[in-house]
Amino acid sequence: MDNAAIQNVVLDDADECARFIDQHRSEIAEGRYDLRIEKDLVRTLSDEDLLLLARSCPSSRQTIALVVKSPAVLEFLACDSSSDVREAAGDNTRTPSGTLEKLADDPSSSVRMAAASNANTPESTLEKLSRDSINYVRWGVANNERTPAAVLKSLAKDLDGHVRREAKNNPNCPKPGLFARLMGRS
């Protein structure tokens, strides 16, 4: 469809948004409208409406990914062509662990970092991400309070100082014994 034929619509009222979607459902599905909605509106829409917008309205995808609660919508958005949308899905605390496992293999390091920082990411995936070549992905693992102690212990010896510090500051990181601290072997 020609971009000139697409109408951009910004909606900021819940009733207006619901009414517009009901009246123009088929046109939205055909790509005639690109709705942009605010975070507060995401919470007022049904999963069916959110999936419609996620499929048909590029301007709403990132906002929806940040705050939606529906696992089905999050799974759909985690496969989006935009790394910003996939990153937002990785940041969402409601993203299912299976979806986060997929995001951990994403070619975009910012998406992998989002997965590394998410509390729903499985321990085995956090362990894998702790060996990522990008330091801020490892930092995301070090920052995650669900990261296993053994992984944090390894990250506390990371070559990157920011990763080391973050791992050592994680409450789950094993602390060296008194003797080791006295001898300066922390």
Domain ranges of the chain: 1-77
Report pLDDT for 112. 98
pLDDT tens per residue across span 22-69: 999 999 999 999 999 999 999 999 999 999 999 999 999 999 999 999
Beta pairing partners, 8: 34
Q: What are the tens digits of pLDDT across the range 92-107? A: 999 999 999 999 999 9
pLDDT grade for 175, boundaries at 50, 70 and 90: confident
- pLDDT at residue 12 above 90? no
pTM: 0.89
What tokens does 94 get? 């409601």
Average pLDDT, the chain: 93
How far CA 20 is from CA of 1, 3, 10, 80, in Å, comes to 21, 21, 11, 25
Say if residues 129 and 108 touch (Cβ distance below 8 Å).
Answer: no
Residue 183's pLDDT band (boundaries 50, 70, 90)? Answer: low
DSSP-derived secondary structure letter, 140: H
Predicted confidence band of residue 177 (pLDDT cuts 50, 70, 90): low
- pLDDT-derived band at 5 (thresholds 50, 70, 90) equals confident
